[in-house]
């Protein structure tokens, strides 16, 4: 048995405790600016403990005074009890206020930091996480970490002080009583150490199934239209119950584990309490202690055992908090996206406003992370100011990947992706160069709010006239002006309330309002009719003769407007001849 415990402790020290230490260290970096508030909170906890003990001793004196041992101290004992009670009420009120204030501030700071890190994390690294899982980490896990800031370390300190103070008082009156009261300590230590690994395992499993449930719900609501259109309600209802069943199984298993361990510890605590009670009765019967001392013993022995149990019970709290911190760390410690040459980009931006910007992919090789499939091999694409460049090819062959490379969302394994200004200055494409671009994807990208609010996301100080002009260029004002509130009409989540074509025209208008020298349209006109599609592209190019426009499309209707067409297929990029373009139009 001893050999087994030694091996178990070594495993804990070598793995789990080291992990927990790293996670706790990360967690408490958020507390630094509130350290004096935390110190004051700990002070109040210790003060409350001292006042509680003082009230207990005063109660002992009052009982002794009433039973005739020292009737002169009745007034003093009563005054101390009343004073300590009032003091405890005040301390509890202040403690509650401080804890709430710090918890809210730390929680907000953690959530804001996680949010900032998520939106600035390398896109490819982040794409392996489900949005529902990220949301769960941002809300549930961060709340657990925030509450533990004042719920664990300060509690540890105050519980230790309480334990030491109570032990000191009991030892002062009767050392044997202290030994009896602490009989549960060795058992508690042995049990807690043997159960720590299982607690951490359960904590991880519970948080994973919570994330699974949130992910399922979020994905269902996001695709509610498709779910209804295919009459999948009964299938998804069953899937929800399957997820809930897994959630139930994990929680009930942990509950069973908790009941067994807590029941065992309760039995041990009860045996200790009645042992103390029996010893106290014996000491009272033999005349060694007074009735007041007997009352104090019963109170303190229970509190001493309870205080030790509370210290041990901090272990599950610490495991829960560090497990949550570890899940957050998995996200926030992902690599940040590359922001190269920021100073150079700002310098180039001034030239580009006059001359436009050229985009060049030079001998690009690209493979997605955790994949052996080569998406692009020796790809070369060039787009110059005043040109419309088209990327065509079968679905899944690399058109969207090429757009991501141009946006700096992904980085080439080999070769260079660059932007060049009119003076010959050039820089590698990265997150820094996005300020030179406007992007319109195929899917809906409108946010809930008004049309004007969506437009002003890209230009905060845009006037109503500027917004209307951008809407006219994208052929969106045709329907916006007919709305009761015009540009101040409401848009639902993900553009609900508007058709696919209307959403695309609104997205294009927003990109136009940004007035970037490089415009990327990723199947952004797929929901428009051919006439509107061509009209929109003409309007865009006539607005700014230096604009570089790159479009991906499955429809050849606009290819005759393009200066060059590149076909992406089987990892290769080839420029398409005019004859091939004409044949595409015929075949389509």
- Residues 82-91 have pLDDT tens digits of 877 787 788 7
pLDDT of 465 reads 92
Q: Is the pLDDT of residue 1 over 60?
A: no
Judged by DSSP in three states, 304 sits in helix
pLDDT of residue 150: 64
pLDDT at 463: 92
* 12 — pLDDT class (breaks 50, 70, 90): very low
524-535 per-position pLDDT tens digit:
777 777 788 888
Instruction: Report which of residues 15 and 366 the model is more confident about.
Output: 366
- Taking CB atoms within 8 Å and a gap of at least 24, the contacts of 480-489 are 480/451, 485/450, 486/451, 487/450, 487/451, 487/452, 487/455, 488/450, 488/451, 488/452, 489/450, 489/451
Most distant CA atoms of the chain, gap in Å: 116
- Nearest of 556, 451, 308, 112 to residue 300 by alpha carbon: 308
% the chain with pLDDT above 70? 86
Give the per-residue pLDDT at 8. 45
The answer, yes or no, to whether residue 382 has pLDDT greater than 80, is yes
- Burial category of 68 from C-beta neighbours within 10 Å (exposed 0-12, middle 13-18, buried 19 and up): exposed
Tell me the C-alpha distance between 147 and 144, whole Å: 5
Q: Rounded to whole angstroms, how far apart are CA atoms 499 and 444?
A: 10
More confident residue, 145 or 503: 503
Quote the pLDDT of residue 229: 67
> What's residue 309's pLDDT?
66
Averaged pLDDT, 245-272: 78
Of 189, 181, 190, 186, the residue nearest 271 (C-alpha): 181
Report whether 41 contacts 95 (CB < 8 A): yes
State the pLDDT confidence band at 304, using cuts at 50, 70 and 90.
low
Domain architecture of the chain: domains with CATH: 2-332 (1.20.1560.10), 342-587 (3.40.50.300)
**Lowest model confidence (mean pLDDT) among 205-214, 233-242, 296-305:** 296-305
What is the chain's length? 588
């Amino acid at each position: 048995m001893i050999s087994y415990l030694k091996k178990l402790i070594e495993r804990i020290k070598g793995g789990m405790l080291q992990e927990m230490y790293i996670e706790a260290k990360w967690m408490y970096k958020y507390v630094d600016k509130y350290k004096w508030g935390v110190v004051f909170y700990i002070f109040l906890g210790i003060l409350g403990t001292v006042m509680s003990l003082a009230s207990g001793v005063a109660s002992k004196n009052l009982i002794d005074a009433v039973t005739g041992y020292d009737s002169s101290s009745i007034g003093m004992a009563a005054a101390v009890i009343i004073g300590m009670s009032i003091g405890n009420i005040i301390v509890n009120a202040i403690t509650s206020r401080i804890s709430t204030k710090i918890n809210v501030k730390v929680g907000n700071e953690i959530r804001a930091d996680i949010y900032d890190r998520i939106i600035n994390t390398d896109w490819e690294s982040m794409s392996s996480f489900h949005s529902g899982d990220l949301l769960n980490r941002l809300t549930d896990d961060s709340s657990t970490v925030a509450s533990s800031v004042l719920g664990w370390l300060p509690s540890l300190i105050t519980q230790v002080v309480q334990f030491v103070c109570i032990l000191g008082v009991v030892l002062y009156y009767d050392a044997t009583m202290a030994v009896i009261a602490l009989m549960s300590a060795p058992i508690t230590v042995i049990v807690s150490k043997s159960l720590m690994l299982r607690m951490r395992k359960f904590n991880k499993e519970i948080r994973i199934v919570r994330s699974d449930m949130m992910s399922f719900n979020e994905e269902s609501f996001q695709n509610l239209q498709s779910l209804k259109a295919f009459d999948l309600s009964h299938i998804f209802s069953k899937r929800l119950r399957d997820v809930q069943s897994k959630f139930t199984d994990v929680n009930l298993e942990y509950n069973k584990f908790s009941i067994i361990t807590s029941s065992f510890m309760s039995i041990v605590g009860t045996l200790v309490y009645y042992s103390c009670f029996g010893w106290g009765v014996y000491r009272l019967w033999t005349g060694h202690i007074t009735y007041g001392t007997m009352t104090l013993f019963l109170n303190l022995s229970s509190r001493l055992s309870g205080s030790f149990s509370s210290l041990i019970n901090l272990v599950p709290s610490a495991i829960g908090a560090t497990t949550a911190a570890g899940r957050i760390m998995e996200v926030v410690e992902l690599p940040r996206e590359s922001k190269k040459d920021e100073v150079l980009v700002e310098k180039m931006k001034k030239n580009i406003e006059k001359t436009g910007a050229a985009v060049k992919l030079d001998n690009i090789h690209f493979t997605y992370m955790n994949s052996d499939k080569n998406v692009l091999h020796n790809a070369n694409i060039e787009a110059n100011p005043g040109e419309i460049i088209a990327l065509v090819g079968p679905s899944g062959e690399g058109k969207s990947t090429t757009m991501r490379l141009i946006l700096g969302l992904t980085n080439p394994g080999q070769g260079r992706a660059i932007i060049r200004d009119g003076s010959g200055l050039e820089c590698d494409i990265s997150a820094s160069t996005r300020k030179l671009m406007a992007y319109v994807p195929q899917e809906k990208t409108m946010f809930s709010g008004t049309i004007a609010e969506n437009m002003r996301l890209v230009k905060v100080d845009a006037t109503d006239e500027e917004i209307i002009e951008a809407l006219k260029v994208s052929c969106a004002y045709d329907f916006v002006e007919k709305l009761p509130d015009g540009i101040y009409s409401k848009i639902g989540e993900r553009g609900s309330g508007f058709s696919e074509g209307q959403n695309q025209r609104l997205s294009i208008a927003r990109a136009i309002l940004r007035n970037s020298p490089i415009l990327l349209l990723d199947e952004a006109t797929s929901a428009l009719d051919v006439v509107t599609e061509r009209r929109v592209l003409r309007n865009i190019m006539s607005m700014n003769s230096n604009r570089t426009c790159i479009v991906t499309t499955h429809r050849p209707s606009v290819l005759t407007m393009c200066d060059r067409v590149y076909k992406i297929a089987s990892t290769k990029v080839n420029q398409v001849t005019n004859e091939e373009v004409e044949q595409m139009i015929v075949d389509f």
